[in-house]
Amino acid sequence: MPFRLILLNLFFYLFLILHTGFAQVDTIPGADQPVTVQEIIITGNDLTKTSIVKREIIIHQGDVLPFFALARAVERSRENLMNTSLFNFVTTSIQTDANDSSRVFVIFNLLERWYLWPLPVFEAVDRNFNEWWLRKDFSRTNYGAYITHENFRGRKERLSILIRLGYSQRLGLYYTVPYLNHSKNNGLAFGISYTRNHEIGYGLQGSKVQFFKDPESYVRKQLGAGIKYTHRQGINQYYGAGVEFQNSHIADTILTLNNNYFLRNLNTQKIFFLTFEYKDDHRDIKVYPLKGYYFDVVFTKQGIGVFDNEPDLISLTSNYRKYWKLSRLWHAAAGVKGKLSGKSFTPYYNQRGLGYGNDFVRGYEYYAITGTDFLLFKTNLKFSLVPERVFKLGFLPSKKFNLIPYAFYLNLFSDLGYVHDKQFQQLNPLANQWLSGNGIGLDYVTYYDMVLRVEYSYNKFGEHGFFIHFTAPIF
């Protein structure tokens, strides 16, 4: 990549991270007089427990604070409630006491979502939709049923049963209890699943995943189970500690194709994963942030010495993202994510880099660049083509579905990434070099946390094309 392009990416990223002068502070002129919160009124929570709603509200009855500070606290509370993913809409109002203007009533009006989803499953199985679209092979899809209750017992608990057939068959049961105690800061999550595949990716060739398929038998079977403890400190800070067990078995044919798929040329891997994480989340709306920042750090230990074929791996991953409101219609965002791993040999199955999940340089969606360490920069300049509006479908009687918020954003972006790989570099040529991607995109955001991105990207090799994604560009 030309040196000037590296400098351009780094300059744009550092400019957005360091230049905080664009931040807008919205105050109410002349509204610095103190007021007392007489009462907080909550309406519309037909299923959700009031205590779950109050957990997200950062003001309390009896608080005394300047009116402009109250207005900002009410807006922050509204954003917190939207970020629970329990409500389609949250509207607020502040009303003064008829007999005393220094005393106010704060009203939160909620419109709950539909929580019980007995949904059919139909999904592409590749690392992203774009890789699947290259083949348009419907045998590489999953189908079945996913029954989930997003607000079980009205306590923000999540109960899911998965029956998935097709390419990657899975049976699973998952249950999340975010609040176990009266203070609503400690929680637990459980999960157990069984997966089997007729086809799996067994290795890399030219930084692209190579697949083997046996229609007559399952080439990989896996049993997994895990438990995770969570602690939420205040509104924005999260701590988590989890343990997961996996027992995976592959067909002998896979070993002939890649004898480093598991450790020591074995066709079975039994392993424990230990994870510890910390998050500090100040985004306005998590599904599509426009203001605020997010930081996390995750420590992962793969293998604890219980089984003979366990790898002994350790890694540290951290992520920082910043979002600015430049003006009414213009926004910017930047993010940096990095991963450092120990020096132990990492089997192919346990190694990840760029090209998985949301960790990729745009313009390289067709590539998987594995490695022990990576660094990823993402930048966005965003224009509100159609700021958020609400459309009503009159023929639907339920407000849970007939009020549809929508917005369109035009994006310019520039990404930069690097993956370090000393083990499989002969088959992984995109590792150990800087990769840049640039382009333009259109984002559509609507209800039930749905985002659709259509982007035109080009990379350092001159490859270009349209790509589709289903999360915010810097999430």
Q: Are 178 and 159 in contact (CB under 8 A)?
A: no
Does the structure show a pLDDT above 60 at 112? yes
What integer pLDDT is reported at residue 27 of this predicted model? 33
Kindly list the distances between the CA atom of residue 383 and the CA atoms of 25, 164, 321, 329, in Å, as whole numbers in the listed order: 19, 39, 18, 6
Complete domains list, the chain, with CATH = 27-112 (3.10.20.310), 116-469 (2.40.160.50)
Greatest Cα pair distance, the chain, in angstroms, is 83
Q: How sure is the predictor about 141, in pLDDT bands with cuts at 50, 70 and 90?
A: low
**Position with higher pLDDT, 297 vs 98:** 297
Question: How far apart, in whole angstroms, are the C-alpha atoms of residue 129 and residue 137?
Answer: 12
3-state per-residue secondary structure call for the chain: CCHHHHHHHHHHHHHHHHCHHHCCCCCCCCCCCEEEEEEEEEECCCCCCHHHHHCCCCCCCCCEEEHHHHHHHHHHHHHHHHCCCCEEEEEEEEEEECCEEEEEEEEEEEEECCCEEEEEEEEECCCCHHHHHHHCCHHHEEEEEEEEEEEECCCCEEEEEEEEEECEEEEEEEEEECCCCCCCCEEEEEEEEEEEECEEEEEEECCEEEEEECCCCCCEEEEEEEEEEEEEECCCEEEEEEEEEEEEEECHHHHHHCCCCCHHHCCEEEEEEEEEEEEEECCCCCCCCCCEEEEEEEEEEECCCCCCCCCCEEEEEEEEEEEEECCCCEEEEEEEEEEEECCCCCCHHHCCCECECCECCCCCCCCCECCCEEEEEEEEEEEEEEEEEEEECCCCCCHHHHEEEEEEEEEEEEEEEEEECCCCHHHCCCCCCEEEEEEEEEEEEECCCEEEEEEEEEECCCCEEEEEECCCCCC
pLDDT at position 127: 58
Amino acid code (one letter) for 53: V
What is the per-residue pLDDT for 449?
Answer: 86
Q: What is the CA radius of gyration of the chain?
A: 24
Q: Which of 20-24, 113-117, 176-180 has the highest mean pLDDT?
A: 176-180
Over range 279-296, report the average pLDDT: 96
Say if CB 195 and CB 163 are below 8 A apart. no
pLDDT at 61 over 80: yes
User: What integer pLDDT is reported at residue 402 of this predicted model?
Assistant: 82
On whether the CB atoms of residues 412 and 379 are closer than 8 A, the answer is no
Task: Say yes or no to pLDDT of 166 above 80.
Answer: no
Sign of the dihedral defined by the CA atoms of residues 87, 93, 99, 101, in that order:
positive
Give the tens place of pLDDT for each residue, 325-372: 999 999 999 999 999 999 889 999 999 899 888 899 999 988 999 999
Nearest Cα residue to 109 out of 94, 82, 89, 95:
89
Of the candidates 148, 153, 150, 136, the one whose C-alpha atom is nearest the C-alpha of residue 47 is 153
Q: What pTM, to 2 d.p., does this model score? A: 0.85
The confidence band for 15, taking pLDDT boundaries of 50, 70 and 90, is very low
Mean pLDDT across the chain: 87
CA distances from 104 to 41, 72, 73, 339, 433 (A): 11, 15, 14, 49, 60
Residue 135 pLDDT more than 80? Answer: no
- Which of these ranges, 49-63, 208-222, 283-297, 390-404, has the smallest mean pLDDT? 390-404
Q: Give the tens place of pLDDT for each residue, 200-246.
A: 889 999 998 898 988 888 999 999 999 999 999 999 999 999 999 99
